[in-house]
Amino acid sequence: MAPPSEPIETVVFDGRALANQVRGELAEQIEELVKAGKRPPCLAVVLVGDDPASRSYIKGKQRACSRIGMEAVEHLLPASTPQAELLELIGRMNADDGIDGILVQLPLPDHIDPTTVAEAIDPAKDADALHPVTAGRLLAGRYDIASCTPLGIMACLDHHGIELEGRDAVVIGRSQIVGKPISLMLQLRNATVTMCHSRTRDLAAVCRRADVLVVAAGRPRMVGADWIKPGAAVIDVGVSEVDGKLLGDVDFEAVQGIAGLITPSRRGIGPMTITMLLRNTLHAYRARCAG
Ligand code: NAD
């Protein structure tokens, strides 16, 4: 495809700045609740096993909670924990009035079925939005709590004033946590959405039609400059480690001057994902405690 005749100044999304802004707003809301004599919201985080990456993710989530005045409780279980024991713990947390959000860090050891675990969480406390009822509410077009990464993507698009109504949106990837929910969210905002996956034919041609392109395939740099419609908003969700370097699914350098907006693989959508976990927990608290 020929390069655009007019050079385009590509805006690079600053995920950390927007995350800080939204977290500031959440912190103010929690401060008001506490000033009114109410308890702060509480997120319970469960880790089964000692995968170092998962451990660092949950530490990050706990830090994010404490910075906005949200409580966090942690359950670190050995990798050998039987599924029944994990389900029992979830049952206790479901019944605990002092817990508003429950997150079970994935991946789980092989002997534990993630779907059974997701279905055990009370949908009213489903901060990570993995329960089928939460997914169903989005499908029905009435949702409050929803998958964190897609909520972060929508916040990014709105922050940059990206028009969605009647525009062509293309989503690469059909996962439960990114591809499917973001496709629904974009459709609910009246975009014309095309969902692509590993069997899609002539993916490059489909992407070139996109005013908004969301890439969540986990294939480093699969999207090059010639896949991008000039001026398109390009959301790169993919994160892969290659030779000790974090790479996105989009060739970040190559799309400069072609995309209108691009999210970097570091400090892009990642900080927004954690922020939306906090947001979901506060929403769950308000819904349960009418706060
Ligand atoms: P996944 O890994 O479960 O599935 C990948 C999806 O991409 C599948 O639907 C598959 O059909 C599609 N796909 C794979 N190869 C393809 C190809 N060559 N062409 C077209 N489609 C292809 O998906 P996921 O869990 O959404 O993760 C995707 C990526 O996003 C990963 O790199 C993951 O680490 C990253 N991720 C980042 C965040 C964040 O907060 N930044 C959150 C979630 C996921």
From residue 153, give the alpha-carbon distance in Å to each of 50, 68, 272.
30, 21, 8
Enumerate residues 6+ apart whose C-beta is below 8 A from 232: 210, 211, 212, 213, 258, 259, 260, 261
pLDDT of residue 264: 96
Residues involved in catalysis: 61, 105, 128
Beta bridge partner(s), residue 194: 170
pLDDT tens digits, the chain, 291 residues: what are they?
555 567 899 999 999 999 999 999 999 999 999 999 999 999 999 999 989 889 999 999 999 999 999 999 999 999 999 999 999 999 999 999 999 999 999 999 999 999 999 999 999 999 999 999 999 999 999 999 999 999 999 999 999 999 999 999 999 999 999 999 999 999 999 999 999 999 999 999 999 999 999 999 999 999 999 999 999 999 999 999 999 898 999 999 999 999 999 999 999 999 999 999 999 999 999 999 876
pTM: 0.96
The identity of residue 234, as a single letter, is V
Q: In which residue are the tokens 């401060």 written? A: 31
For the Cβ of 217 lying below 6 angstroms from any atom of ligand 1, the answer is yes
From residue 126, give the alpha-carbon distance in Å to each of 93, 119, 204.
11, 10, 36
For the Cβ of 247 lying below 6 angstroms from any atom of ligand 1, the answer is no
For the Cβ of 269 lying below 6 angstroms from any atom of ligand 1, the answer is yes
Pocket test for ligand 1, best of 115, 175, 214, 266 (most atoms within 8 A of CB): 175
Atom of ligand 1 nearest to the CA of 217: 7
Enumerate residues 6+ apart whose C-beta is below 8 A from 72: 42, 43, 44, 45, 61, 62, 65, 66
pLDDT of residue 3: 56
- Domains assigned to the chain: 38-122 (3.40.50.10860), 147-271 (3.40.50.720)
Q: In which residue are the tokens 């706990």 written? A: 62
Enumerate residues 6+ apart whose C-beta is below 8 A from 108: 48, 49, 114, 117
